[in-house]
Amino acid sequence: MSTISNLNTAPTSTDAKNLVDTAAANQSFRTFSKALRQSGLSDTLRGTGPFTVFAPTDEAFNKLPPGKFDELMKSENKDELVSLVNNHLLAGRSNAADVGKMTNIKMLGGKSAPIVLDGIKVSIDGARLTTPDIASSNGWLHGIDKVNVPTTH
């Protein structure tokens, strides 16, 4: 497992919003913000962290099979939703340059996620970073173009 090489890299923004508020303030992450609230992980991501969040955009959620997101949002599927959200979270503070230097990381959900650097484009587990380096007080948020749904056994 690769580790984050520079956990002390602070966001360059003076914005004091935490990751949850940062995602909520960005119109591209409305669906992810909804998933955070429903999963109960908002309080964790409001904490000191630091965390790196690979947040699927609303467009990425629209690529899920019809009805999949609505199914995940049902209370009886909370464990699956928590697993999905956790597979988009990384402990530590990693900007896009840091992520691009890695080859494989272990997400908070336990899933290994391969990192591919193609020129200046970074992908994590097949999802391309489309909006990198959105700073928050407790980490970095990176917009991605795919929802990395954990596989069930």
Per-domain residue ranges for the chain?
A: 19-144
pLDDT at 151: 66
pLDDT at 150: 74
Pairing of strands 112-118, 51-56: unpaired
pLDDT at 9: 37
Q: How far is CA 6 from CA 29, 50, 94, 109, 135, in A?
A: 26, 12, 7, 22, 15
Q: In this structure, what token pair is assigned to residue 62?
A: 């629209």
Task: Tell whether the model's pLDDT for residue 78 goes beyond 80.
Answer: yes
**Contact in structure between 121 and 99 (CB atoms under 8 Å):** no
pTM, to two decimals: 0.86
Question: pLDDT by residue (tens digit) across 99-146?
Answer: 999 999 999 988 899 999 988 899 999 999 999 999 999 999 999 999
Contacts of 49 (CB under 8 A, 6+ apart): 19, 91, 93, 138, 139
pLDDT at 62: 96
- 96 by Cβ neighbours in 10 Å (0-12 / 13-18 / 19+) ranks as middle
Q: Which CATH class is domain 19-144?
A: mainly beta
- Report the C-alpha gap between 41 and 38 in whole angstroms: 8
Question: pLDDT by residue (tens digit) across 37-46?
Answer: 999 999 999 9
Q: In this structure, what token pair is assigned to residue 53?
A: 């969040």
The DSSP H or E segment spanning 20 is helix 19-25
Contacts of 65 (CB under 8 A, 6+ apart): none
